[in-house]
Structure 1
Amino acid sequence: MNALEDSNRFTLIRHTDADAWIETIAAEMAQILNHYIDAAGRARMLLSGGTTPAPVYQALAELDVQWDRVEVSLVDERWLSPQDRDSNAWLVRQSLLNRAEGAHFDPLVRVGKPLPECVYTANLQAQHTEAPSLAVFGMGNDGHTASLFPGSKDLARALESTLPYAALDATGCPGSNQWPLRITLTPHGMRQCRQRLLLLRGKQKLEVLKQALESNNAALYPILNAIDLDGRPTLRIHWCD
């Protein structure tokens, strides 16, 4: 069986049109948020950065969601000020928060605080708030997700962590570009998320995903840590060329 057809591990939705990809994902995100708002009065979602999800966030901001009942934070962050244009916080603010009036945002990096203190604060907050209703992941061509980079000296520690967030030094990992210091959601943190989406664009990403699934090596392909979470709803993967 083709590894991409294993419906026991995930649900893969293929889109033939980029606009439909954007609109379908945004609608699904809004539906999830509204479900938890109706059930519990509030919803919390964790978002990834990058150019791939930005148009989805823009479309989501236009949909009917009680944004004053939504808390937003991040799957991961570069060790940059939230005001830095290269930070995930800046992208989420520009594409979603500036349009979704009333939504509350919790950045992972606190200006003036050292990295260990920011990680401590992120974990403290995660442990004292509602479990995330939704987490949106991406994947790099190296098979990383969040800031879990293959080859990082800190990867094993992050994968084994019993806390939601960890610091990670990805020095030497090509996918981290010029920002090796990161705060990242761990597999333990992923397990707390009630619903999970993975957004992919392009044939190369689909081939990387196939290689990851066939390898069954979560250290070589950290994306597997977002897929194989026992006892959680299956990951929904939205792909478009």
Structure 2
Amino acid sequence: MAWIEHLYVDADALAASLAARLEDIVREAIAARGHAMLALAGGRTPFPAYRALAACALDWHKVVLMPTDERCVAHDHPACNLREMRAAFAPAAGVRFASLTADDGDPERSLAQARTLLSQHAGAFDAVVLGMGNDAHTASLFPGAEHLAEALDMAKPVDAFRIDPRPLPAEAPFPRITLSAARLLHARSIHLTITGEGKHAVLREAQATHDPLRHPIAAILHAPVTVLIHWSE
């Protein structure tokens, strides 16, 4: 386990630095393997970086973007991560999106679709970008949720799970499809983005303990990988 922390003066500096790192990752992946695949978190913190990345002159037709998790809603619903991702990457002509959910968001069909999709994209992600909630959830690995233990089980050969947070968040009361912890860790580069002192305190608690059922982000932090942490006020 290892983590490297990068502290920034503000969220704009975080976004600029993360976008530059992702640009380099995409260029190197295309040069080495002919394509790049990124798994990207939703939420407010990373989207300025995505918009900056989308403005870069890259071979976007060689890039696939996948959400790390998705709400089981129709793809035109305001709560859909894929919808927001498509808007952020609108300038990236030719980029391809891999959806974890069915067009109408049906949970069971979405879970089947996600598992089929991931079986077709079994290679390591070139980069995974994660966020973290005040309850220490990452992707849709929520503490207390049914199937959380299975989704955190590194020995379980399943890439995606349906997660129903308990209680459902008032701002987004929907079932979710999430990549498992093992699939999130199957990556050449892992980036965790957080802002604010409150989340920094949660991060410190997760770093100090190893209880992923209480702090799901701990499953990432205490894995035998290097996690790059990007944090600002």
Q: Distance in 2 between matches of 1:69 and 1:123?
A: 22
- Point out the more displaced range, 159-168 or 199-208: 159-168
Contact 1:150 1:173 in 2 (8 A): no
Contact 1:11 1:236 in 2 (8 A): yes
One-letter amino acid matched to 1:84? H
What TM-score, normalized to structure 1? 0.90
Contact 1:171 1:181 in 2 (8 A): no
Q: Distance in 2 between matches of 1:120 and 1:226?
A: 25
Q: Distance in 1 between matches of 2:102 and 2:24?
A: 31
- Point out the more displaced range, 142-151 or 105-114: 105-114
Root mean square deviation of aligned Cα: 1.6
> How far is 1:135 from its partner?
0.8
Q: Distance in 2 between matches of 1:72 and 1:51?
A: 17
Hey, what does 1:55 align to over in structure 2? Answer: 48
Q: How does 1:71-220 map to 2 (within 5 A)?
A: 71-96=64-89, 98-112=90-104, 114-129=106-121, 130-160=123-153, 161-172=156-167, 174=169, 177-220=171-214
Q: Distance in 1 between matches of 2:75 and 2:3?
A: 33
Contact 1:149 1:173 in 2 (8 A): no
Q: Distance in 1 between matches of 2:50 and 2:56?
A: 10
Q: Distance in 2 between matches of 1:51 and 1:113?
A: 22
Q: How does 1:25-44 map to 2 (within 5 A)?
A: 25-44=18-37
Contact 2:42 2:81 in 1 (8 A): yes
Q: Distance in 2 between matches of 1:37 and 1:14?
A: 29
Hey, what does 1:237 align to over in structure 2? Answer: 229
Q: CA offsets, 1:89-126, max 9 Å, x none?
A: 11111112x12111001111112474233222222222
Runs ≥4 in structure 1, deviation > 6 angstroms?
none
Report the 3-state secondary structure (helix = DSSP H, G, I; strand = E; otherwise coil) of the residue aligned with 2:77.
coil
- Distance change >3 Å, CA 142–CA 40, structure 1 → 2: same
Say how many residue pairs are matched: 230
